[in-house]
C-alpha cells in the first residue's frame, strides 16, 4: 500500500533529484534513500547501545572472570 505525501525540499535538492532519476521515478529513489538511511542509522544505534552496555558492565564482568578462574578445578 502506498501513501501520498506532500514534502518540501530545497531547490538544489530537487535539481539533483531531477538529474539523478528519470521523470516519474522520484518516489522510488526517495523510498530507497529513506530505507537505506534508516537501516544504516539503526545499525549504528545498535552498535552504540552494545558498546555502552559492554562498557557499563565491564567491571562486573572482569570480577566474575577473576572469581571463575580462581576456583579450583573439579574432578
Q: Are 16 and 30 in contact (CB under 8 A)?
A: no
What are the distances in angstroms from CA 74 to CA 21, 67, 68, 70, 71?
Answer: 68, 15, 12, 12, 9
pTM over 0.95: no
Confidence at residue 11, expressed as pLDDT on a 0 to 100 scale? 93
Cell triple for 73: 578445578
The Cα–Cα gap between 35 and 41 comes to: 10
pLDDT, tens digit, 9 for 90 and up, residues 15-73:
999 999 998 899 999 999 988 888 877 777 777 878 888 888 888 888 888 887 776 76
Amino acid at each position: 500500500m502506498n501513501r501520498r505525501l506532500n514534502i518540501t525540499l530545497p531547490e538544489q535538492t530537487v535539481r539533483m533529484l531531477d538529474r539523478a532519476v528519470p521523470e516519474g521515478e522520484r518516489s522510488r529513489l526517495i523510498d530507497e534513500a529513506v530505507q537505506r538511511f534508516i537501516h544504516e542509522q539503526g545499525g549504528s544505534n545498535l552498535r552504540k547501545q552494545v558498546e555502552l552496555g559492554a562498557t557499563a558492565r565491564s567491571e562486573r564482568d572482569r570480577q566474575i572472570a577473576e572469581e571463575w578462574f580462581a576456583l579450583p578445578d573439579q574432578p
